[in-house]
């Protein structure tokens, strides 16, 4: 609230200037940012309501817990788990006490369990605890967010978010990028579906339908890395999952952070300042509840930077550390810019920096060089295993990263109404991602709310963009490092030339449009998002997947989903009936009024005629 008051005062001062006529482009750019108020444009009472509403939704999410799965109770006559009874009020009489948090317990179950019944239970239980309670709050949030956006001159909150990219038609550009990438995703999807069908059977995984979302090793099926044990192309060959090695060598979370820092400093970039090690939260506290979603924090004074992460000793968390430390490195590099320019060239750039380094840090030869892998060979099978593992993270994520904000933009614009929030969510997940819910959903549910970024009001398209940008960065940094050979073999570790190029781009902050930053990175070759580097990186895997998918249906038929995703809820039926009754009553009233008017006009004409 204090920040918003400060921003309002500066906005009032800034709007007294004819700043659009200024000749200095940097000053003009500063004014263009200061004269957009954002949520501070709301009246104080509504601003307070919006701030408290978002905090309330985040608290509901972060404190949500579920009960343990009990395979011995509440079965239907056919032997299936009675999911609906399990969440009835009678549960309290049974003694079910919710004790499992998303991190680490629920996440670990989704990653490790191979019992489809347990996975289905946990999948639904989390949405009951974290998503469903947010539905009405989110509807109010949309109203306030749209009001703030319109006070800033935007059509809705979605248009306001998209303005960060300074692009005329972001919708169209993203659609074109996805259209090019979709065939690669569909081949990965077909192969993974085949392997899961071999494990669970055709009654659980359809031959040519969407994949049930609870079987993909992740609560939101956004990455599929935890299906490796079922899907790895060449078992027994080198794998880049180094979790066992980290544990065997006694790594602790702090050691993992030091390992990531050393990669950045090997490029000539800055070490983390002393305060980072003193004030960061890198393990889950035992004395209080915290939001465990990993995040990086810049306290804007040039010395105080922190990461908050409930770190586990796993390969996945090692990569996450690189990602979050990439945010901090970006913050450090632009710390000398005016405050207004201390941000990423666009939100996707900020998300990409740490991941760029992780592309090198994940290669088998790099992991061998730092002692986390042994006996790495250069065989074709090792190559395919590595690329497949990367695809389970990078390629599997693309449609999810694309659709989250497509859904939100439609909600903000009114294209998706209050009575179809969940239906539209699953339409997008089916059509773009090819995953289906493991049991029917309805409009009493609010499955989008079970993903942190929805209640926390964090735009998501940045991640889709970052997954494209990071490969553009990687290709150019590899050239600077003098790499020769396939792009997926490149490791820029210890290359000061690559570090200098990266520093030149990061130090600009937001002082220049992201298209100009991309021109600097690519030595003037392009200012556009380009999927060619990602296709080049995965080219050997694309050929391999096509050979494996001969005779397999590539794509998915929605009609063949094991569970049809959205049923009509009682609330929706009642609402529909009420609306229908109101419409009928309104229609009758209008007809009666028209008839009366016609009769009145007829009588008047008759009187006039008689009088004349």
Burial (CB count within 10 angstroms: exposed 0-12, middle 13-18, buried 19+), residue 76: exposed
Mean pLDDT value across residues 523-531: 91
Measured in degrees and rounded to the nearest 5, phi and psi for residue 75 equal -110, 145
Mean pLDDT value across residues 126-144: 96
**Among 13-27, 72-86, 298-312, 556-570, which stretch is predicted with the lowest mean pLDDT?**
72-86
> Are 179 and 172 in contact, with CB atoms under 8 Å apart?
no
Domain coverage including residue 1: 1-35
Token look-up 């989110």 returns 138
What residues are designated binding site? 165, 323, 327, 351, 462
210: tokens are: 């969407």
Mean pLDDT value across residues 594-598: 57
**Among 25-34, 384-393, 400-409, 591-600, which stretch is predicted with the lowest mean pLDDT?**
591-600
- Which residues lie closer than 8 Å to 387 by C-beta, 6 or more apart? 488, 537, 538, 540, 541
pLDDT at 531 over 50: yes
Per the domain annotation, does 1 fall within a domain?
Answer: yes
Per the domain annotation, does 393 fall within a domain?
Answer: no
**324 catalytic residue (yes or no):** yes
Mean pLDDT value across residues 552-574: 74
What residues are designated binding site for chloride? 165, 462
pLDDT the model gives residue 601: 52
* pLDDT tens sequence across 141-183: 999 999 999 999 999 999 999 999 988 889 999 999 999 999 9
Mean pLDDT value across residues 188-205: 97
Domain count, the chain: 2
pLDDT at 346 over 80: yes
What residues are designated binding site for Zn(2+)? 323, 327, 351
- Which residues lie closer than 8 Å to 55 by C-beta, 6 or more apart? none
* pLDDT tens sequence across 392-406: 999 999 999 999 999
Per the domain annotation, does 585 fall within a domain?
Answer: yes
From residue 501, alpha-carbon distances to 362, 488, 534 in Å are 21, 20, 20
> Which one of 186, 324, 410, 476 is the catalytic residue?
324
* pLDDT tens sequence across 264-275: 999 999 999 999
DSSP letter, residue 100:
E
User: Residue 93 — pLDDT band, cuts 50, 70, 90?
Assistant: very low
pLDDT at 321 over 50: yes
User: Residue 602 — pLDDT band, cuts 50, 70, 90?
Assistant: low
pLDDT at 253 over 60: yes
Mean pLDDT value across residues 499-517: 95
* pLDDT tens sequence across 60-83: 999 999 999 988 766 666 556 565
85 or 148: which leads in pLDDT: 148
* pLDDT tens sequence across 225-252: 999 999 999 998 877 889 999 999 999 9
pLDDT at 597 over 50: yes
pLDDT at 438 over 90: yes
Per the domain annotation, does 92 fall within a domain?
Answer: no
Tell me, letter by letter, the H, E, C secondary structure of 414-455: CCCCHHHHHHHHHHHHHHHHCEECCCCECCCCCHHHHCCCCC
Per the domain annotation, does 7 fall within a domain?
Answer: yes
pLDDT the model gives residue 236: 83
Q: DSSP for 156-221?
A: SHHHHHHGGG--TTHHHHHHHHHHHHHHHHHHHHHHHHHHHHHHH-TTTS-SSSPEEGGGSSSTTS
> Which one of 293, 453, 489, 496 is the catalytic residue?
453
pLDDT at 511 over 60: yes
pLDDT at 492 over 80: yes
pLDDT at 608 over 50: no
User: Residue 292 — pLDDT band, cuts 50, 70, 90?
Assistant: confident
Q: What is the C-alpha radius of gyration for the chain, rounded to an integer number of angstroms?
A: 27
* pLDDT tens sequence across 32-50: 999 999 999 999 999 999 9
223: tokens are: 């990455």
User: Rounded to two decimals, what is the model's pTM?
Assistant: 0.87
Per the domain annotation, does 512 fall within a domain?
Answer: no
Per the domain annotation, does 28 fall within a domain?
Answer: yes
* pLDDT tens sequence across 95-126: 578 899 998 899 999 999 999 999 999 999 99
Tell me, letter by letter, the H, E, C secondary structure of 19-66: HHHCCCHHHHHHHHHHCCCHHHHCCHHHHHHHHHHHHHHHHHHHCCEE
Per the domain annotation, does 543 fall within a domain?
Answer: no
What integer best gives the mean pLDDT of the chain? Answer: 90
The pairing of beta strand 65-66 with beta strand 100-101: antiparallel
pLDDT the model gives residue 78: 56
């Amino acid at each position: 609230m204090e920040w918003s008051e400060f921003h309002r005062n500066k906005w009032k001062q800034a709007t007294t200037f004819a700043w659009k006529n200024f000749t200095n482009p940097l000053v003009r750019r500063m004014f263009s940012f200061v004269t957009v108020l954002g949520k501070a444009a709301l009246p104080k009472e509504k601003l307070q309501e919006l701030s408290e509403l978002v905090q309330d939704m985040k608290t509901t999410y972060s404190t949500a817990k579920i009960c343990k799965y009990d395979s011995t109770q509440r079965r239907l006559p056919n032997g299936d788990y009675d999911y609906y009874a399990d969440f009835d009020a009678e549960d309290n009489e049974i003694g079910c006490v919710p004790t499992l948090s998303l991190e680490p317990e629920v996440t670990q179950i989704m990653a490790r369990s191979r019992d489809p019944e347990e996975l289905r239970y946990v999948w639904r239980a989390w949405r009951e605890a974290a998503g469903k309670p947010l539905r009405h709050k989110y509807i109010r949030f949309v109203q306030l967010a749209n009001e703030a956006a319109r006070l800033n001159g935007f059509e809705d909150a979605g248009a306001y978010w998209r303005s960060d990219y300074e692009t005329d038609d972001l919708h169209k550009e993203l659609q074109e990028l996805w259209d090019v990438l979709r065939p690669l995703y569909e081949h990965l999807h077909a192969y993974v579906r085949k392997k899961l069908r071999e494990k669970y059977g055709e009654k659980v995984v359809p031959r040519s339908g969407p994949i049930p979302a609870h079987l993909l090793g992740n609560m939101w099926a956004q990455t599929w890395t935890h299906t490796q044990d079922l899907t790895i192309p060449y078992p027994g060959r080198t794998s880049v999952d180094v979790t066992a090695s980290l544990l065997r060598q006694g790594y602790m979370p702090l050691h993992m952070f030091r390992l990531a820092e050393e990669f950045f400093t090997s490029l000539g970039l800055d070490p983390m300042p002393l305060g980072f090690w003193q004030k960061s939260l890198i393990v889950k506290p035992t004395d209080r509840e915290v939001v465990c979603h990993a995040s990086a924090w810049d306290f804007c004074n040039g010395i105080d930077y922190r990461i908050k992460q409930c770190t586990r000793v796993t390969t996945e968390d090692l990569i996450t550390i690189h990602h979050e430390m990439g945010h901090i490195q970006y913050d450090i590099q632009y710390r000398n810019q005016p405050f207004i320019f201390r941000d990423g060239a666009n939100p996707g750039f900020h998300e990409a920096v740490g991941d760029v380094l992780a592309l090198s840090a994940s290669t088998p030869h790099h992991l061998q060089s730092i002692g986390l892998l042994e006996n790495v060979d250069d065989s074709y099978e090792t190559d395919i295993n590595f690329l497949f593992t990367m695809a389970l993270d990078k390629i599997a994520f693309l449609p999810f990263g694309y659709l989250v904000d497509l859904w939100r933009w439609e909600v903000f614009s009114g294209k998706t109404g209050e009575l179809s929030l969940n239906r539209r969510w699953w339409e997008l997940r089916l059509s773009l991602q090819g995953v289906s819910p493991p049991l029917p959903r309805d409009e009493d549910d609010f499955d989008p709310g079970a993903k942190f970024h929805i209640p926390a009001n964090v735009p998501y398209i940045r991640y889709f963009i970052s997954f494209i940008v990071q490969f553009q960065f990687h290709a150019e940094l590899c050239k600077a490092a003098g790499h020769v050979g396939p792009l997926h073999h490149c490791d820029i570790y210890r290359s000061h030339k690559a570090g200098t190029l990266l520093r030149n781009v990061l130090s600009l902050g937001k002082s220049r449009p992201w298209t100009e930053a991309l021109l600097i990175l690519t030595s003037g070759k392009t200012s556009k998002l380009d999927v060619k580097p990602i296709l080049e990186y995965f080219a050997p895997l694309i050929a391999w997947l096509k050979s494996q998918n001969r005779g397999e249906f590539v794509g998915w038929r929605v009609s063949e989903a094991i569970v049809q995703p959205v049923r009509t809820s009682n609330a929706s039926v009642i609402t529909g009936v009420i609306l229908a009754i109101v419409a009928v009553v309104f229609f009758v009233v209008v007809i009666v009024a028209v008839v009366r008017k016609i009769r009145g006009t007829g009588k008047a004409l008759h009187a006039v005629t008689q009088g004349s």
